[in-house]
Amino acid sequence: MNISAKSKYAVRALVELAQQNNGHPIPIADIASRRDIPLQFLEQLFSTLRKAGILNSHRGVRGGFSFNRLPEDVTVLDVVEVLDGNISPAACTSGASCERIDGCIMNEVWGEVKSSIEEVLTSHNIGELASRESLMESKSREMYYI
């Protein structure tokens, strides 16, 4: 089970959107440029996130994207599930039928793996990641002279 490049790029772009969020829509070209993401690819990702209710799109000269929900209410798991589907390390954790499920000890292990991944991805939200990244960037800009 891999989290796709789509989800990774989308989280990076959403963190940028959260950092630039000043109450006005942010042009998608600005986000793509700042995060070095191909514009057409980001347009596809944001279209999917808009349809899922995570983002709003705004047309016109001052158009762009904004959050439909607070960035703090958008977890990394939300983004991954919209773009990649449910987290599933094995067929038995995806709801697919498995003829061995009753006698398979690994079913329990795969269920724990799934729960652990979901717990970690749920424990991080876009607002928190944006704040942490901003803090990290401000610390890296600090210069000390002796």
At 82, phi and psi to the nearest 5?
-65, -45
- Architecture of the domain whose range is 5-85+125-140: Orthogonal Bundle (1.10)
Kind plus residue range of the DSSP H or E element containing 57: strand 55-58
How far apart CA 27 and CA 107 sit, in angstroms, is: 45
Instruction: Write down the domain spans for the chain.
Output: 5-85+125-140
**DSSP, res 86:** S
Q: Partners of 26 in the beta sheet?
A: 65
pLDDT reported for residue 54: 98
Q: What is the pLDDT along the chain (146 residues), one digit of tens a residue?
A: 678 999 999 999 999 999 998 878 999 999 999 999 999 999 999 999 999 999 999 998 888 999 999 999 999 999 999 999 998 888 777 777 777 767 788 888 888 999 999 999 999 999 999 999 988 888 777 655 55
Q: Which two tokens stand for residue 35?
A: 């995060």
